[in-house]
Amino acid sequence: MRLNEIYQTYNNHIAIYVIYIREAHADNGWRVPENLEHNIHFDEPTTDDERTEVASVCQIGLDLKIPMLIDSIDNDVDDKYIGLPMRLFLIDRQGKIAYAGDRGPFGFDPDSWEQAIMDELPAVG
């Protein structure tokens, strides 16, 4: 997986996290055929514990090596960053957004995110 490759390359230079936000394809929301084909069935979580459980299954199922943080059930991160269904960001050392990828899945571009990381790395040194 491309994200794991990027993580392995840069995790000793910058902090990289996945932040799990709202479930994009909940059974009680927008179900997609791929989830049905892979027997993935979750309702939209209503508690932080439920969200954490779904996020853990997601991380294992996708074989994500990147540490995962969980957005609150109040969707604080998603509301601020408009990340649903998935989106890549790079936050610089001053806490400003250095890269904001387009929303996925069609705008999800790990290669342009990696380029932004490489551009930012001299400033990290």
Do 56 and 64 touch, CB atoms closer than 8 A? no
pLDDT tens digits for range 31-88: 667 766 766 667 788 999 999 999 998 899 889 999 999 999 999 999 999 988 889 9
Distance between CA atoms of 76 and 16, rounded to whole angstroms?
19
Structure token digits, residue 104: 């996925």
CATH code for the domain in which residue 90 is found = 3.40.30.10
| pLDDT value at residue 105 | 81
Residue 11, domain extent: 2-124
Where is 34: in which H helix or E strand?
Answer: helix 33-37
Q: How many domains does the chain have?
A: 1
Counting every residue written for the chain, the total comes to 125
pLDDT above 80: residue 23? no
Strands (DSSP E) contained in the chain are 18-20, 68-70, 89-91, 97-100
